[in-house]
Amino acid sequence: MKRRNFFKTAALGGGTLALAPLGSCVQTTTQTNIPENYADFELNEITIAQLQEKMSSGALSSAEITQKYLDRIEQIDKKEPELRAVIEINPEAINIARQMDAERKSGKVRSPMHGIPVLIKDNIDTGDKMLTTAGSLAMVGSPAPDDAVIVRKLREAGAVLLGKTNLSEWANFRSTKSSSGWSGRGGQVRNPFSLDRSPCGSSSGTGSAVSANMCAIGIGTETDGSIVCPSGINGIVGIKPTVGLWNGDGIIPISHSQDTAGPMARTVSDAAVLLGLLAEKNQDYSQYLDANGLKNARIGIASDFFGNNTEVDKLISEAIETLKSKGAIIVGNLKFENRKECGDAEWQVLISEFKADLNAYLKTRSGLKVQSLADLIEFNLKNADTELKWFGQEIFEKAEKTNGLEDPVYLEALKKSQKLTREEGIDFLMDKHKLDALIALTNGPAWTIDWVNGDHFSGGSSKPAAVSGYPNITVPAGFVKGLPVGISFFGRAWSEPTLIKLAFAYEQATKHRKAPGFLKGIS
């Protein structure tokens, strides 16, 4: 489930939202709306390995590749139709690329990411000339003093930090009526498949930018759905790692028990490369890229997350048939019990951890207008014409009333939420049915952007993996009316090797990924 909509149901005591069937899945998109030359891009759909081949052969330098992506951003992000996926360009990007070219010429190649341009979400600290704001005008001021740990590792790997991506402000943890991808600083991110549609969130800009071929690969963050939903809804691959696989220091927090950054890419292979390089202990996940990886794999169908949309269900049914055809053993009709109880417990955990974690983070920053959550609430009230123009800050206000991490209410909620999703959830189902992984719908089709009413949720399954802290990988599963739908593979803690093997095999069998058309709308 996408984080913002989880809060809507948890905070208001509601159940799972439903969406009426959309009818036939015949694509009737208006092709006349495709902007000229947007698909005519030399690096369209190029992979990390292909970029390395070009640099190794001398066909292109890192500086030339970086400039092409910068030109691409200028062409399709800052002018009409204004995707607004990129919130800030790194003024040092070309210089970094030139340094990597010089090292390559001298015979030094640091890693598979050497010279590769990357965009990262604007809630990840960079100790350079760029800001780290979570999309909030309250955080505009001095840059962060140091790189986040994953950014330091990114630089050590030789990657080119191209810029920061826009996001749902405060990672979609401000209001139950927010518009995914909107921030006071960056404006509204749009979906490159249909520009009137939501990019989901909160890693909206990363999902949109990667899908629109504005970088080689990107990094998002997730607390509950914020990597997998914008990946699925923008038609790309996203990996939400086991919490702790990537170091979280230097990332503007919501919840230390659920937060993690992760790769967002156009292919499983690219995502696997970055996942391993930025892991606390570098790992080579490329060894698990097995096109025959589905053979004899036992996969459970998490049926709780189907039934919102007949055309989406049809796609997932086709996906299941593909899994079977590639040798997987399917175990159907598995359910997560106590979903409402789990949601209520998660809500308490997140509002409690947010206040404590954010206040601690803000102490590491100087030169800002705010030093605490209380300051932030007051800033927004004083700047309501910009920050509160479309939706409020009721989540902030609820979090401010919590009583800290020693509060028995918080401690009981944490214990309950993890128990329900671990030993009584994912681990229970996998043990009982001897599973290698579970699968479910990642997302329904993108809804239209609505600043008045907020998001119109169309289905999702992020909660079990998010609350447990376990890994989740989404892969494109096809289209409904030209809008991407994703399928999620999730499982036990530290099971990334297995999930990568299964997700890669499914991706290779289907190859649903395609570049977006930048349509103005669906008709």
Report the catalytic residues. 121, 202, 226
Pairing of strands 160-165, 437-441: unpaired
SS3 of the chain: helix, strand, coil, percent, to 5: 40, 15, 45
Angle between helices 62-76 and 93-105 in degrees, nearest 10: 160
The HSE-up count of residue 520 (CA atoms within 13 Å, CB side) is 9
Q: How far is CA 279 from CA 148, 150, 151, 275, in A?
A: 13, 8, 12, 6
CB 195, CB 521: distance < 8 Å: yes
Pairing of strands 160-165, 187-188: unpaired
CB 439, CB 464: distance < 8 Å: no
At 421, give phi and psi (nearest 5°): -100, -20
Query: From CA 27, how far away is CA 523, in angstroms rounded?
Result: 9
Q: What b/e readout covers 129-163, taking b as 16+ CB neighbours within 10 angstroms? A: ebbbbbbbbbbeeebbeebbbbbbbbbebbbbbbb
Query: From CA 272, how far away is CA 102, in angstroms rounded?
Result: 27
Question: Of 70, 87, 138, 16, which is closest to residue 382 (Cα–Cα)?
Answer: 138
| 102 Cβ contact partners less than 8 Å away, ≥ 6 residues apart | none
Q: How far is CA 297 from CA 294, 437, 487, in A?
A: 5, 8, 17
CB 23, CB 221: distance < 8 Å: no
Q: List the structure tokens of 402.
A: 């919590």
